[in-house]
Structure formats: C-alpha cells, structure tokens
Structure 1
C-alpha cells in the first residue's frame, strides 16, 4: 500500500498529539472488534492476554517487531465502541494512545491519537503508526499486508518536518 503520509500534529496544553485517520465501510461495532479482540489484533498488531478492563494491565505481543517482544499495556479508558485509551512504558519512553471511532452513513472513521511528551522521534513514530494502521486495513479487507520498507525511511522526512508546520 503506497500512499502519502496522513499524520497531522496538533499542539495541546499538555504537549502535542499525532493524529492519523483511516475510514472503513463498516459499523463502529465491527471496527471496534478489530481493535479490541485478541484474535483480530493478532492479524495486524499482535495478540494480547489478560483481564481487559479500565485500570487493568494486559500483555500485548508486538508480533511485527523484531523479536516479537511482549509489552505491558494499561487500559486507561474503554467506552465501546467509541474510545479506547492505552498507555505503556518501554525503553523508548511512555506511549499514550487513543483510538476514537465515529460512525456516519455506513462508514466508520478511526482517529488514532498518540499523545506526545516530546516531538523528537516523530520521524520514526509516524511511519510506524502508518504501517500498523495500514496493517489493520489489510487485515480487515484481505489485501496483501504492507511491507515496512515502504514506510520507513520514505515517510521519515514528512514526519520529521511536522513540528515546524504545526
């Protein structure tokens, strides 16, 4: 899947938000299942295990990363089928993300938001989320899975320059 980068950067009182959007010809409930059910997330991000509830921590296998590590993710908010907020900390720092779904006229829009404490790694972060969101699209529609090489380093300059444009 070759398309231009879609991410936008918005400054907030608490930092910056990186926002990427995808649309699906499906109900919000159907898309919600794709981003929350372990057998569905396994196809585009990685499987997870644990007791999924707000305030709880689940273990997520980063199936498409080198060595497929497990990562603890805290469920900060869960409002089916509209909002899922997760956070995690690893050697790269703290990750705070939200997936916001809105449905209209038989289509669902997914707004993926990463709340950033710093904009320093946008050149790496943005292409990664583009890749994962396109993996979600491919997993849902049965198209071939994208190759990360099509995203990075090709999209790096776009994302590295976003802070100057925001």
Structure 2
C-alpha cells in the first residue's frame, strides 16, 4: 500500500527560471530523503540490474560518455558521472537535462536532489505539470525499492490504481508550487492541471 499523503509530503518541489550555460533555463527540482546509505542509493540509480526493479528496463553503456535508452520512454547521453554523488544526462533531447545529486543526510540517510531543466520559453511554464508528476512516480518507486519492494513489471506497477492516484495527487502538489511562483495565469493553470490529472490518473 502507498501512504499517499506521507509520500507526497516526503518530497520538496520547486520551480524556477535561472541563468544557464547558454541562456535562461526553466528548472523543476525534487528533493527527498531516503533511509539508506549514499552508496546504496547510487547503486539503485545506476546499476542496470536494479533500475528495472523500480523504474523501467534500460539498455546502454551506463558511464560518462555513454548513452542509455529507457524502455517505452526517453533516452539520452550521459554527460557526467561522478560516483557516488552526481550524474547528469540528456533526457529525450539535447536541451533537456536531468541532474541527480546525492549527499549524506546523517544517520544512514541520503538526500536526493533531482533537477530537470529545459530552455526557458521552449514550453509554457505550466508544462511543469506534464513532467513533474512523472518524476514524483520515479522517486516514489526508488523509495519503495530501497525499502525492500521489487516490481516484477515496474511499468505495470506505475500504472496501478494506487500509483495513478499518487501521481494525480502529485499534479496538485505541483499546482501549489506554480501558484506560489505566480507566473502562470489561473485559467491556464486550471486547464493544464485538468489535462495533467487526466493523463496521470485518468477518469478518476
């Protein structure tokens, strides 16, 4: 069973526009603490035998300079890999960058920070709602795996009613972040939220 309220509250969500290497970027960030040591979290994130047990089947050369392809999802290039604390990849497009950083939270815990950036203006600011809940499902799956759960079919697990309900709740957690930011008009935000909720938790 997924404790949806506690799992939603376990994630800190942020959005911001900030300078990038080649101009302003739009960034969304998730931060979550896991009851596991950094080396174990790193292994779960980068070991091709463990990734399918909580996320999706993956192929490729999983090292700096290599590439990867997630089954039924995005692929990309591995731009940086600094075990056991940081990796950076392109995700679906060379301008779409995902960075994951790990640090010790003390008492055998690990703080994970996942940031996904795209060039500002490439998508509307409300586009956060089409991406953020998907990353929520990923960090949830990782947490369940680290707590001892493994999925015979991770893609099917992400499509169960309770996983969809969690993703639907994550949509509105991201809505609250966008409301606080104040960049998206209320009508646009409402329309985007409805579309995202129908995508992640259809007909609920």
- Retained in 1: the 8 A contact 2:69–2:76? yes
TM-superposed CA distance for 1:97, in Å, is 0.8
- Retained in 2: the 8 A contact 1:50–1:57? yes
Structure 1: which 5+ residue stretches go unaligned? 62-68
* Higher fraction of helix: 2
Match of 1:112 in 2: 114
Deviating above 6 A after TM superposition, structure 1's stretches of 4 or more consecutive aligned residues are none
Structure 2: which 5+ residue stretches go unaligned? 151-156, 182-204
Q: Does 1:87 align with 2:90?
A: yes
- Retained in 2: the 8 A contact 1:51–1:58? yes
Equivalent-residue separation in structure 2 for 1:151 and 1:111 (angstroms):
20
1:2-151 equivalence runs, <5 A: 2-3=4-5, 4=8, 6-13=12-19, 14-61=24-71, 69=72, 71-89=74-92, 95-105=96-106, 106-117=108-119, 118=123, 119-143=125-149, 147-151=162-166
TM-score of the pair, normalised by structure 1? 0.81
**Alignment CA distance shift 1:45-1:96 (3 Å):** same
* Higher fraction of strand: 1
- Retained in 1: the 8 A contact 2:136–2:170? no
Match of 2:180 in 1: 165
- Retained in 2: the 8 A contact 1:124–1:152? no
Q: How many residues align?
A: 157
- Retained in 2: the 8 A contact 1:60–1:73? no
Give the root-mean-square deviation of aligned CA atoms: 2.4
**Alignment CA distance shift 1:22-1:158 (3 Å):** closer
- Tell me which structure has the larger Cα radius of gyration: 2
